[in-house]
Amino acid sequence: MYNFLLDIPTILFFLLLAHLAIAVTLAIYLIQSVSRHTSDRRFLLGTLLQGVGLYLTSQRGRIPNYYSVNWGNVLIFLGLALVMRTLITLEKPNKYLDIFYAIVFGLFVIVFWGTVKNLNQSVIIASAFLAFLYLSSAVLMAIYNIEKSILRYSLSLTCAVSGVLMAIRGISAFNQTNFTLLSKNGIQDATFIMVFFVVILGGTGYLLLLRERSELLLKKANHELS
């Protein structure tokens, strides 16, 4: 029997700390780097937006739901979409992916702000769209992984698992009208733990890729000078 249930506000707090740590580390890198790309700023912005969204969400019951539910979820979704978009092709531009993620975000805002009437519905709608975002990003990461990077395949797999768990979470909320963000149950625990893994793997993975890019640029410069 599953008796150990995580405290959701505590999980949200650790997710917030993880996003802040990644954002600060990336910001320091960008300040010192001579090779900055739009993708770097997009990833940083996405991480910061998720951090703000998580803070608003963690204040559930302390601030009006308009900020905690409506804006908290929208900022988290927008930030995640920016991060996922960046991880798929890194610094390489792709207008079709830009359009895809813009459409998904636009649909989320319209549906979430237009249909959510209570806290249970917010979990259902958010989980459904997050499941789609994670699963579609997992597929796209695998397709665009031209370098056959083990790291990006691992991130793709983690996103896929997160997507499946989000879908199960949404179904559970649909079948239980008292299911909210702060509900304590096994699917909540599994979902948030996997999301935490995505954050850590995505953040550290992107930083490692930036370091690799800098080393390649340095080798190229040394080769041209020799």
pTM of the model as a whole: 0.91
Residue 3 confidence (pLDDT): 55
Give the residue-averaged pLDDT of 110-127.
96
Residue 221 confidence (pLDDT): 63
- Here the tokens at position 62 are 């302390």
In this predicted model, what pLDDT tens digit does every residue of 60-76 receive, in sequence order?
Answer: 989 999 999 999 999 99
Residue 1 confidence (pLDDT): 43
The ranges assigned to domains in the chain are 8-177+184-225
In this predicted model, what pLDDT tens digit does every residue of 145-161 receive, in sequence order?
Answer: 887 888 889 999 999 99
Query: Does domain 8-177+184-225 match CATH 1.20.1070?
Result: yes
Give the 3-state DSSP-derived string for 11-78, with helices as H, strands as E and coil as C: HHHHHHHHHHHHHHHHHHHHHHCCCCCHHHHHHHHHHHHHHHHHHHHHCECCECHHHHHHHHHHHHHH
- Here the tokens at position 65 are 């739901």
Residue 200 has pLDDT above 90, yes or no: yes
Mean pLDDT computed over every residue of the chain: 90
Task: Express as a percent the part of the chain with pLDDT over 70.
Answer: 91
